[in-house]
Chain A
């Protein structure tokens, strides 16, 4: 074999190796964008853009309030970024923290749900009409956190559409979007009306999100959220208990009993269901039925044993009063 041929082949080999390494490097840099090429999520259109999503050009530092105002307004809450500043903005950090971004929508009866850190989940939510708040590192040299709202994408041209900062329609390549999204751990959230469950939500994750909202909102939103969750996951105990408690709190005792009886069919061993059913029946004046229920819950090893004892005591006391009254 002659020298120049070998050299050329060697050169080609080195070029190939460098090219491969570079490609592999790219795949490392934007792993999820690369996997979208071969696995586009099923049932998601390649082009979506929700132009009706409102836009609030942000003032200095205040992309957190602006991003929240965008998704909340889209979900039917009338709120401005200015009103959200004192609820989410942290003056000393000149920005907004993720935890508070999740906490604030609850005060408006919306359920905050943090998405799984997956490009496909983001695309699914946007395709389903839920604008997604994302955390980006937009610093050119050093870290600079920024919130923006994804309201569309066009895969054939490789573009993600965002409401971001002063730009009403920022266009960003899929790869660049992932690059600046990756550093915040692919963090993304949606803020949903209580009766709408995100398409990517898991039962466990969504129930935790609903309970977090119900802590704050004791009104209608919590009831709606529990009812919607129970409809979607009829076997979910927390949803049934939550719905019944909401009915009880507003005096709809018959509705509460109906929900609890259904729950007892599905969870015959649940001490919580028996205790709450007994309490509600007793509140309706049906003390004998209540006593029969609470006696089934007499398990001394249950973590709710003291609650059960207290309920039983109350029922017996009421029965005693009733007898005394009849005499």
Chain B
């Protein structure tokens, strides 16, 4: 993907995420999440940072082969801390899934060893 394309996607994501996050605010009421984080009210800056983090993480997911709409929905299901953590270690965190490939690798390595060391 070209870098201008990436930038455009990022911008589109920022706008759509902003729209998403302000919809849910309940007029005049303070949210339950504020009650849990005792004393630490969410500032406007925090809100903007959270939206930007989400856009960035969604773009990263997209770069890893996830469909753009899906990437946005996947990020929307995470908490701010999770979004932050995922952006940090998407490449290194354990990804459960590979089944059987390890054995295949061992068989291939063994075959190569046999081929080069013993076959004359």
Point out residues on A near B: beta carbons under 8 Å.
58, 60-64, 67, 86-104, 106-107, 135-136, 138-147, 165, 184, 207-208, 211-212, 214-216, 218, 226, 237-242, 245, 248-249, 270, 272, 275-276, 279-280, 283, 303-304, 307, 310-311, 314
Let me know if B96 and A92 touch, CB within 8 A. Answer: no
Main secondary structure on B side of the interface with A = loop
Distance, CA A216 to CA B83, complexed state (A) = 14
Taking A87-B73, A99-B93 as contacts, is the C-beta distance between A61 and B86 under 8 angstroms?
no
What's the minimum C-beta distance from B11 to chain A, rounded to whole angstroms? 23
Let me know if B96 and A145 touch, CB within 8 A. Answer: yes
Let me know if B29 and A279 touch, CB within 8 A. Answer: yes
Distance, CA A104 to CA B66, complexed state (A) = 14
Let me know if A107 and B77 touch, CB within 8 A. Answer: yes
Using Cβ atoms and an 8 Å threshold, which residues of chain B touch A103? 74, 77-78, 82
Let me know if B102 and A241 touch, CB within 8 A. Answer: no
Chain B, Cβ-Cβ closest to A275 = B30
Taking A91-B65, A245-B32, A249-B26 as contacts, is the C-beta distance between A146 and B98 under 8 angstroms?
yes
Q: Is B36 an interface residue (CB 8 A)?
A: yes
How many chain B residues touch A (Cβ–Cβ < 8 Å)?
44
Which has the most chain A C-beta neighbours within 10 Å: B26, B28, B41? Answer: B28
Taking A91-B66, A103-B74, A142-B102 as contacts, is the C-beta distance between A61 and B97 under 8 angstroms?
yes
B20-64 residues with Cβ-Cβ distance < 8 A to A are 24, 26, 28-36, 39-41, 61, 63-64
Let me know if A248 and B26 touch, CB within 8 A. Answer: yes
Distance, CA A283 to CA B36, complexed state (A) = 25
Using Cβ atoms and an 8 Å threshold, which residues of chain B touch A283? 28
B81-109 vs A, Cβ < 8 Å mask (1 yes, 0 no): 01001100011011111111111001000
Distance, CA A106 to CA B33, complexed state (A) = 16
Let me know if B24 and A303 touch, CB within 8 A. Answer: no
Using Cβ atoms and an 8 Å threshold, which residues of chain A touch B30? 241, 272, 275-276, 304, 307
Q: 9 more A-B contacts (CB under 8 A) besides A240-B35, A279-B28, A307-B30? A: A87-B74, A92-B63, A97-B94, A140-B103, A144-B101, A147-B97, A211-B79, A212-B82, A218-B24
